[in-house]
């Protein structure tokens, strides 16, 4: 078991002929991900890395039975690519693209809901179920099969922590980078619920950042629903209260968003918060009685 | 991206949201030319990208043209929170019966544009939100339907009872939403929205921010950009694929990835140091990018040590190390540098750095401690 993806996941790549798309397609394939097709409008019929290319997501899904799609198309077209995948019936969409306009993500949201599509990102490194399926730009070699789940808003900080976990003998089930944009797909809370229901995952590491209140909501969810231990880290504790968004920013979050607020919320939920990333493996071991 | 109040007023006017008459002036001469001779109550307001202008003395009332000139002389060139006032708005003052607040913002929780309104408008609105949040009305707007007239009326009815006032306010809300969506805004506020004794509803002060990710399709908005000196560096860095924010400390940081960059700053602080900046160089090991990053970093004269923290994922550490060495050859600085590489091919990368004669460390915490130590020498 794992969450969201496994060895049976059939992946298509939207933007497979682009520079990043082609590069990471080959990396994912090497890892063992089952990539069944790629999309590049107007280039249907060719092959990339031995993978058939289609003009539309609809054709690709019909021909291959794909149930997941990863998006590498440039930011101005990413919202449309997500819509296309959702209307074609793809169950899970992972948008790697950075810099997608917020209004585009807002427009995508009701469509995903209507079609029952799950989305990760945008502006995220993707996700991995260790030894089974890697989707996105994560470096596969740092992961090791085990029982720790990991969710993060960051990219390289995630790799840093995964590396530390692996070095200290703590392997992982599924690791998910949910992305750092203000409006995005699955949030911490949604994923915590999946980890709670996954028999293989025994503990979860949550890496948050300042801003927004996804961490506060996660803390509330943990307090109310989680039986499995969670260890957290919040990046940006030293960041000065800078670029705030006028009155409305303060109003909408009602004081949430600072590192102190998040740490307080986790403390109230019995979640230890590491002072620095290096403390995370120790805290996980303590929680698991290792 | 932010714009000035006078620019927000121009946009309001373009969309049919009523605002009092006013002119923008850059000099006292311009004030003398543009402001009519008529004696009437006017407000002279500094146009700077910071809040709290009124408390800083940047907003003054004038009864006559002569008084407008006199206030303009005082406000133009004054310093508000480190910013020099280069522009003023001279607007007709209106009598106010009551002040309201309306605002639109992208809300991460509902993943929608959310409309907020309150009968308690004015400068203390944040306090209202904290102390009595029930006094702020909130409504998430469905992006496929937009803000419908009946929804706007529903909100307006909670602020007003007179049908004429409700109608004016509902129309303003619908127009504000249209403006918000058309311009890829990330914040649009009217504070205060006022009711005058002759029962007119007007926008007195406006604030708008825009989504930087959408500026590629908002040429008109982009033309309104008025860049501050500090922001200038950040914008230049962004054009080179670097994300830079200047801080007040003395330890320069260069990191790949925003989360890791923040964690690096946190660690420096945790061990008693003070980071000079946030600098995310992204995923590439391109030596040119490293040189650009170093130049930006070292242009800050407070920097007395540099910590480079790279986690190699897809990017291999030996590639990064070669990039760094090439960059350092070109820059030739006296400032001590600590390099920490981890992840893919870290060993090979560290060898290259060591051969070059620079101190290397293996963990982030060691690197932070070392950088702090060197910064004090």
Please write the tens of the pLDDT for every residue from A149-164: 999 998 889 999 999 9
Determine the distance in angstroms separating the CA of B271 from the nearest CA of chain A, rounded to an integer.
11
- Please enumerate in sequence order all residues whose Cβ is within 8 A of that of B90, keeping only pairs 6 or more positions apart, or say none: B22, B23, B24, B25, B31, B34, B35, B42, B43, B44, B45, B68, B72
Please indicate whether, in this complex, the C-beta atoms of A139 and B344 are within 8 angstroms of each other.
Answer: yes
CB contacts, 8 Å: B344 with chain A? 139, 141-142
The three-class DSSP label of residue B254 is strand
Residue A169 burial (10 A CB sphere; 0-12, 13-18, 19+) = exposed
- pLDDT number for residue A245: 39
Structure tokens at B140: 């998430």
Q: CA of A215: which chain B residue's CA is closest?
A: B109
- Is the CB of residue A143 less than 8 Å from the CB of residue A172? yes
Cα-based torsion angle of the residue sequence B20, B21, B24, B27 in order, rounded to the nearest 10 degrees: -120
- Global confidence as pTM: 0.90
Q: What is the mean pLDDT of residues A87-111?
A: 96
Which residues 3-32 of A have a C-beta within 8 angstroms of B? 24, 27
Determine the distance in angstroms separating the CA of B34 from the nearest CA of chain A, rounded to an integer.
31
Q: State how far the Cα of B82 lies from the Cα of B360, in Å rounded to an integer.
A: 39
- Whether pLDDT at A275 is above 70: yes
Cα-based torsion angle of the residue sequence B288, B290, B296, B299 in order, rounded to the nearest 10 degrees: -100
Banded model confidence at residue A171, pLDDT cuts 50, 70, 90: very high
- Whether pLDDT at A247 is above 80: no
Q: CA of B267: which chain A residue's CA is closest?
A: A276
Q: What is the mean pLDDT of residues A204-232?
A: 93
Instruction: Name the percent of chain A in helix, strand, coil, to the closest 5.
Output: 40, 20, 40
CB contacts, 8 Å: B189 with chain A? 246-248
- pLDDT number for residue B83: 85
Please indicate whether, in this complex, the C-beta atoms of B125 and A247 are within 8 angstroms of each other.
Answer: yes
Please indicate whether, in this complex, the C-beta atoms of B130 and A239 are within 8 angstroms of each other.
Answer: no
The total number of residues shown for chain A amounts to 290
Determine the distance in angstroms separating the CA of A290 from the nearest CA of chain B, rounded to an integer.
23
Name the active-site residue from A45, A247, A276, A289: A247
CB contacts, 8 Å: B133 with chain A? 254
Does the active-site annotation cover A247? yes
Q: What is the mean pLDDT of residues A2-22?
A: 95
B189 inside 8 A of chain A by CB: yes
- pLDDT number for residue A36: 98
Of A109, A138, A153, the CB nearest to B111: A109
Extract the runs of DSSP E, i.e. beta strands, from chain B: 22-25, 42-46, 59-62, 79-80, 83-84, 88-92, 98-107, 112-118, 137-141, 185-195, 201-203, 206-210, 243-246, 251-255, 277-280, 305-312, 337-343, 360-361
Please indicate whether, in this complex, the C-beta atoms of A156 and B267 are within 8 angstroms of each other.
Answer: no
A240 inside 8 A of chain B by CB: yes
Determine the distance in angstroms separating the CA of B36 from the nearest CA of chain A, rounded to an integer.
33
Q: What is the mean pLDDT of residues A158-173?
A: 96
Q: State how far the Cα of A152 lies from the Cα of A132, in Å rounded to an integer.
A: 20
A74 inside 8 A of chain B by CB: no
B58 inside 8 A of chain A by CB: no
Structure tokens at A161: 């922590």
- Is the CB of residue B323 less than 8 Å from the CB of residue B362? no
B109 inside 8 A of chain A by CB: yes
A248 inside 8 A of chain B by CB: yes
- Cis peptide leading into residue B192 (ω within 30°): yes
CB contacts, 8 Å: A214 with chain B? 108
Across the A:B interface, residue pairs with CB atoms under 8 Å apart total 185
Q: What is the mean pLDDT of residues A54-78?
A: 97
B262 inside 8 A of chain A by CB: yes
Q: State how far the Cα of B366 lies from the Cα of B364, in Å rounded to an integer.
A: 5
Name the active-site residue from B5, B6, B101, B244: B101
Radius of gyration of chain A (CA): 19
Which residues 282-301 of B have a C-beta within 8 angstroms of A? 283
Q: For each successive 10 residues of chain B (377 residues), what is the average pLDDT?
A: 93 97 94 92 92 87 94 93 90 94 92 93 75 88 96 96 96 98 96 95 94 94 82 79 85 90 92 91 72 86 92 80 85 88 86 88 90 90
Q: CA of B142: which chain A residue's CA is closest?
A: A110
- Whether pLDDT at A250 is above 60: no
Q: State how far the Cα of B224 lies from the Cα of B219, in Å rounded to an integer.
A: 9
Banded model confidence at residue A246, pLDDT cuts 50, 70, 90: very low
Q: What is the mean pLDDT of residues A106-132?
A: 96
Banded model confidence at residue A173, pLDDT cuts 50, 70, 90: very high
- pLDDT number for residue B377: 79
Banded model confidence at residue A239, pLDDT cuts 50, 70, 90: confident
Q: State how far the Cα of B228 lies from the Cα of B83, in Å rounded to an integer.
A: 8
- pLDDT number for residue B135: 87
């Amino acid at each position: 078991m794992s969450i969201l993806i496994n060895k049976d996941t059939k992946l298509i790549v939207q933007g497979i002929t682009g520079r990043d798309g082609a590069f990471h397609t080959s990396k994912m394939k090497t890892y063992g991900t089952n990539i069944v097709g790629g999309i590049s409008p107007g280039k249907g019929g060719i092959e990339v890395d031995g993978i058939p290319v289609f003009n539309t997501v609809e054709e690709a899904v019909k021909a291959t039975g794909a149930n997941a799609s990863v998006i590498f198309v440039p930011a101005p077209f990413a919202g449309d690519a997500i819509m296309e995948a959702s209307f074609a019936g793809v169950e899970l969409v992972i948008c790697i693209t950075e810099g997608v306009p917020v209004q585009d993500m807002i427009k995508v949201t009701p469509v995903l809901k209507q079609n029952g599509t799950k989305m990760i990102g945008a502006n995220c490194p993707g996700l991995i179920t260790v030894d089974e399926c890697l989707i996105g730009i994560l470096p596969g070699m740092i992961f090791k099969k085990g029982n720790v789940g990991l969710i993060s808003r960051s990219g390289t900080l995630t790799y840093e922590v995964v590396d530390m976990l692996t070095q200290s003998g703590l392997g992982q089930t599924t690791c998910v980078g949910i992305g750092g944009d203000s409006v995005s797909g699955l949030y911490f809370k949604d994923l915590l619920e999946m980890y709670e229901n996954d028999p293989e995952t025994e503990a979860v590491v949550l890496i948050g950042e300042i801003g927004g209140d996804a961490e506060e909501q996660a803390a509330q969810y943990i307090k109310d629903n989680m039986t499995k231990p969670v260890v957290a880290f919040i990046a940006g504790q030293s960041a000065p209260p800078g670029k705030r968004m006028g009155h409305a920013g303060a109003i909408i979050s009602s004081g949430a968003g600072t590192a102190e607020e998040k740490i307080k919320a986790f403390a109230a939920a019995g979640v230890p918060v590491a002072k620095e990333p290096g403390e995370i493996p120790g805290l996980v071991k303590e929680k698991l009685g290792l | 991206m932010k714009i000035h109040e006078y620019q927000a007023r121009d946009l309001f006017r373009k969309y049919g949201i009523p605002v009092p008459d006013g002119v923008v002036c850059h000099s006292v001469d311009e004030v003398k030319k543009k402001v009519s001779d008529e004696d009437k109550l006017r407000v002279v307001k500094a146009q700077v990208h910071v809040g709290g202008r009124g408390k800083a003395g940047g907003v003054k009332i004038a009864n006559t043209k002569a008084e407008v000139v006199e206030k303009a002389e005082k406000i133009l060139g004054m310093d508000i929170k480190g910013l020099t006032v280069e522009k003023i708005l001279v607007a007709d003052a209106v009598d106010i019966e009551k002040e309201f607040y309306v605002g639109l913002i992208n809300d991460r929780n509902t993943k929608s544009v959310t409309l907020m309104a309150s009968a308690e408008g004015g400068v203390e609105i944040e306090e209202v939100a904290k102390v009595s949040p029930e006094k702020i009305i909130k409504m998430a707007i469905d992006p496929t339907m937009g803000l419908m007239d009946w929804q706007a009326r529903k909100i307006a009815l909670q602020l007003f009872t007179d049908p004429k006032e409700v109608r004016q306010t509902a129309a303003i809300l619908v127009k504000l939403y249209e403006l918000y969506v058309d311009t890829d805004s990330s914040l649009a506020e009217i504070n205060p929205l006022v009711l005058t004794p002759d029962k007119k509803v007007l926008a007195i002060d406006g604030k708008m921010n825009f989504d930087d990710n959408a500026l590629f399709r908002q040429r008109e908005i982009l033309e309104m950009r008025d860049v501050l000196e500090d922001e200038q560096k950040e914008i230049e860095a962004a054009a080179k694929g670097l994300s830079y924010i200047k801080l007040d400390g003395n330890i320069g940081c260069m990191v790949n990835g925003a989360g890791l960059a923040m964690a690096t700053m946190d660690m420096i602080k945790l061990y008693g140091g003070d980071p000079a900046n946030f600098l995310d160089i992204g995923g590439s090991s391109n030596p040119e990018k490293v040189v650009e990053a170093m130049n930006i970093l070292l242009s800050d004269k407070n920097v007395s040590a540099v910590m480079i923290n790279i986690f190699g994922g897809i990017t291999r550490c030996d590639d990064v190390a070669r990039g760094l060495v090439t960059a350092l050859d070109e820059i030739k600085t006296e400032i001590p540098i600590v390099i920490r590489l981890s992840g893919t091919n870290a060993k090979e990368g560290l060898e290259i750095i060591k051969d070059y004669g620079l101190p290397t460390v293996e963990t982030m915490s060691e690197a932070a401690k070392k950088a702090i130590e060197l910064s004090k020498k």
